[in-house]
Amino acid sequence: MPAQGGGAPRPAPARRMPRPRLTGLGGGLFACTAMVLVAGICALLFGSSLFVYGLLFPPVAAATALWVRPADLITAPIGVPIAFAAGVWPISGGSGGFGGQLMGLVSALSLHAGWLYAGTLVAALIALVRKAVLIGRRRLPRRAA
């Protein structure tokens, strides 16, 4: 079939994955749900390994920061540490009632703070870069005019 207008035929557009846009609350709920699921997987497959749990936290933090909508970028670095704490609670290893569970949670958070900081830093950097790109795109038409 010859191309109309003298130009070369255009290739078919590539199918893209949909880009989910979560609100701030949706991003926090996504991160909490994902980390609770990760905790369940760690409990079933790895014997409640907090190392594996921490290792899987930065990718969840990155996904949260990538999928939150531009208006709610500030919520990504705030919501992911809450999700870390929500997910680590079932596998923290506390015993003996509420006080024991609380001490297990505090111990797990303090001993694995490196993973918590790493995931939060990943989310903050992604949010910062996304915000800088958005600001740059807004200023680009002004420079051309």
Tens digit of each residue's pLDDT (9 = 90 or more) over 86-142: 999 888 877 778 888 888 889 888 988 999 999 999 999 999 999 999 888 887 666
Taking the CA atoms of residue 105, residue 108, residue 112 and residue 118 in that order, the dihedral angle to the nearest 10 degrees is -20
Residue 41: per-residue pLDDT: 93
Q: How confident is the model at residue 143 (pLDDT cuts 50, 70, 90)?
A: low
> Across the strands, what pairs with 22?
68
Look at residue 55 in the predicted model and tell me its pLDDT.
94
What was the pLDDT predicted at 96?
78
Distances (CA, A) of 44 to 12, 58, 59, 105, 118: 45, 21, 20, 19, 25
Say which residue, 24 or 144, is predicted with more confidence: 24
Confidence (pLDDT) at 90 = 85
Assess contact for 32 and 86: CB atoms under 8 A: yes
**Residue 145: its H or E element:** none
pLDDT tens profile 50-92: 899 999 999 999 999 999 998 899 999 999 999 999 999 888 8
Q: What is the Cα–Cα distance from 137 to 134, expressed in whole angstroms? A: 5
Cβ neighbours of 75 (radius 10 Å)? 23
Structure tokens at 13: 């557009």
**pLDDT level of residue 4 (50, 70, 90 thresholds):** low
- Using one digit for the tens of pLDDT, what is the confidence trace for 9-57? 776 666 665 676 888 899 999 999 999 999 999 999 988 888 999 999 9
Phi-psi region of 2 (alpha: psi -120 to 50; beta: other; left: phi over 0): beta
